[in-house]
């Protein structure tokens, strides 16, 4: 398990869950709210597992995993974190407001969440280097 391997795996995971999120938004446009909710429950569990898994690896398994990053990589990682941290904070709020059907709050937070998620996916998949 190397840093580049972990980054590559996470890129695949982010692309996969982004497809689930996109499908949930299509359901929303079609008025299928229940399916939107179910897909997003899957999105929530998978995304949270990836975040917690990565945290566990960085903190407990091998803290030196990103030592292959140079200064430019670190700058890009900081921009990426500028999107991914707000997105991780908004994620549980999305689930709670969705499940309790607080539609106004859910849609307003949804716009913010979508912006932070697009930033997370773009900077994560395109910017972060997964070659040694």
Q: Which of 13, 23, 27, 37 binds ligand HEM (CB under 6 A)?
A: 37
**Site stretch for ligand HEM (CB under 6 A), options 5-13, 60-68, 74-82, 92-100:** 92-100
Phi, psi of 31 (to 5 degrees): 80, 10
CB of 89 to ligand HEM, least distance (A): 12
Which tokens belong to 100?
Answer: 């309790």
Phi, psi of 64 (to 5 degrees): -95, 15
Q: Decide: is 96 part of the binding site for ligand HEM (CB under 6 A).
A: no
**Site stretch for ligand HEM (CB under 6 A), options 9-17, 26-34, 59-67, 78-86:** 26-34
Token pair 């179910």 is at which residue?
A: 38
Q: Decide: is 114 part of the binding site for ligand HEM (CB under 6 A).
A: yes
Is 128:77 a contact under the CB 8 Å cutoff?
yes
State which H helix or E strand residue 21 sits in. Answer: helix 3-29
Q: Decide: is 7 part of the binding site for ligand HEM (CB under 6 A).
A: no
Residue with Cβ nearer ligand HEM (27 or 57): 27
**CB neighbours of residue 61 within 10 Å:** 11
Indicate if the alpha-carbon torsion angle 5, 9, 15, 21 is positive or negative. Answer: negative
Three-state SS across 94-113? HHHHHHCCCHHHHHHHHHHH
Q: Decide: is 36 part of the binding site for ligand HEM (CB under 6 A).
A: yes
Q: Which of 12, 52, 107, 126 binds ligand HEM (CB under 6 A)?
A: 107
Residues at the interface with ligand HEM (CB under 6 A): 28, 33-34, 36-37, 40, 43-44, 91, 94-95, 98-99, 101, 103, 106-107, 110, 113-114
């Amino acid at each position: 398990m190397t840093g580049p391997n972990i980054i590559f795996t996470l890129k695949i995971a982010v692309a996969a869950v982004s497809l689930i999120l996109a499908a949930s938004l299509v359901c929303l446009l079609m008025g299928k709210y229940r399916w939107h909710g179910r897909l997003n429950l899957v999105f929530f569990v998978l995304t949270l597992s990836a975040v917690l898994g990565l945290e566990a690896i960085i903190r407990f398994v091998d803290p030196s995993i990103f030592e292959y990053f140079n200064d430019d990589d670190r700058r890009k990682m900081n921009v990426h974190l500028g999107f991914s941290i707000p997105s991780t904070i908004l994620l549980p709020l999305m689930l709670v407001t969705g499940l309790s059907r607080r539609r106004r709050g859910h849609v307003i937070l949804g716009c913010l969440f979508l912006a932070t998620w697009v930033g997370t996916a773009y900077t994560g998949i395109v910017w972060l280097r997964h070659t040694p």
